[in-house]
Amino acid sequence: MLITQKTVIGKEEWCSLPDLNLPAIKARIDSGARTSALHAENIHIYKSRGDQWVRFDINPLQKDRRTVVHCRAPLVEERDVKSSSGHTERRPVIEARLKLGEVVQTIQLTLTNRDSMGYRMLLGREAMQGRMLIDPEKSFLQGMLSEIEAKEFYRGRTGKEGGLRIAVLASNPELYSNQRLMEAGRERGHNMEFINIQHCYINISAEEPEIHYRGTEILAPFDAVIPRIRPAITFYGCAVLRQFEMMGAFCLNSSIGIARSRDKLRSLQMLASKGVPMPVTSFAHSPQETQELIKMVGGAPLVVKLLTGTQGVGVVLAETSKAAESLINAFKAVKADILVQEFIREADGKDLRCFVIDDKVVAAMQRIAPKGDFRANIHRGGAAVEIKLTSEERKIALHSARIMGLSVAGVDIIRSASGPKVLEINSSPGLEGIESVSGMDIAGLMIESIEKSVVKKRVKAAA
């Protein structure tokens, strides 16, 4: 009678470990072993809120290196385990729920990266605890999964062999640029994850840097992060990005580079100090200097720019000295930080967007302001056409990106009578305009840049 209450299992069975996010894993049943074991990689013990945790990667499907699951679990202890070959190894021990057929119970598992058993999981006698009986002649008595079915459980996680785990750190997954980056990464066999900046929060005091996500999850380390931080959340976004940097992710644009480029004044100061040509620009705080400011840039017409403005909002043209004066004083009255710039009339409402990746201008376009406006921003209704840059413009674009420390940059240049002048550097240049004008796969080039950099980083770490 007792026997019928026990679950009869064969020498191998499909089971699941829901706590570890492993819906299907094939286990070899081995009553000769006491504790169960998981074949894991990148095993790493760390501390969080005073508790010890262990994170690790698993390829849950045999002979499939593409499917990777990043797991984490509280560490129970570290234990010396003697393997069948007589070799003793110190292994982390974790606890997780096991589901095998109808049986659901919490079991202990040791983590090892020795693949000698051929199976990703080994079920020891402790886990059976008198609740299971083994029929060593048989297999899959609790249900068989075909290779395709098992794979189906892990859909969306598959990357190419050696595929990277890449985060697009942004706010809006619907945005053309973000969608293209996700798509380009997937096409190249990477595990792409969209991480919403607003849902990240960081534990600064943890001994190991960590990022919490949506309240419950702690993000496993990424190989690379593509920051696409909206200007409105630059401060918070850069703080989150720094945390990713500390966790060892390669970031396509560093938090420092982004913070620099978002501060119009700071970036112009940096560029000027390295001899990059730009329109004559002045900056002041107190209203007493308004006349001086206007004189400094050669009088009206002039352009007044809000330091925090983007996409052309907060860029105003003052045609006369009188208009300039009242405009500047109005901005100052509301304590807005502004800079005042000579107006490049001969640019005729056009500017150049140079898209730089890794010290190369990969594409360029000319933007043309809508009738009646001098601002060529696409968001202000500007049109875009392909353009051939002069070698000087190309040189200035590369130099500017390098000075800002950006590996991906949109460098905006205006053509003046006295040569090209840099207006600003964008650290999250949009992809829609430039891809449609150039017909190029810019998102793909960004992913390829990551691939190269991560390989370089790994080679360096191994040396």
Which residues bind to ligand ADP, rule: CB under 6 A? Answer: 279, 303, 305, 309-312, 315, 341, 343-344, 347, 351, 369, 374-377, 412, 414, 423-424
Residues 6+ apart with CB under 8 A from 154: 23, 24, 60, 61, 67, 69
CB 367, min distance to ligand ADP, A: 7
Which two structure tokens, joined as six digits, stand for 440?
């190029």
Q: How far is CA 447 from CA 113, 189, 451, in A?
A: 30, 11, 6
Q: Which is nearer to ligand ADP, 52 or 282 (CB)?
A: 282
Q: Which is nearer to ligand ADP, 244 or 374 (CB)?
A: 374
Report d(CA 224, CA 245) in Å as an integer: 9
Report d(CA 243, CA 254) in Å as an integer: 11
Q: Which is nearer to ligand ADP, 91 or 415 (CB)?
A: 415
CB 264, min distance to ligand ADP, A: 7
CB 236, min distance to ligand ADP, A: 20
List the alpha helices (DSSP H) in 97-144: 125-128
Q: Which is nearer to ligand ADP, 185 or 301 (CB)?
A: 301
CB 433, min distance to ligand ADP, A: 12
Q: In what order do the strands lie in the sheet with 350-357?
A: 383-386, 360-368, 350-357, 408-416, 419-426
Q: Are strands 132-134 and 121-123 parallel, antiparallel or unpaired?
A: unpaired
| Three-class SS state of 316 | strand
Q: Which is nearer to ligand ADP, 209 or 349 (CB)?
A: 349
Which two structure tokens, joined as six digits, stand for 309?
């403005």
CB 420, min distance to ligand ADP, A: 13
Q: Which is nearer to ligand ADP, 104 or 232 (CB)?
A: 232
CB 341, min distance to ligand ADP, A: 4
DSSP state of 118: S
The answer to whether 310 touches 231, Cβ cutoff 8 Å, is: yes
Q: Are strands 132-134 and 7-9 parallel, antiparallel or unpaired?
A: parallel
Q: Which is nearer to ligand ADP, 124 or 237 (CB)?
A: 237
Q: Which is nearer to ligand ADP, 71 or 403 (CB)?
A: 403
CB 179, min distance to ligand ADP, A: 23
Report d(CA 350, CA 340) in Å as an integer: 19
| Three-class SS state of 80 | strand
Q: In what order do the strands lie in the sheet with 338-342?
A: 281-283, 338-342, 302-306, 315-318
CB 300, min distance to ligand ADP, A: 12
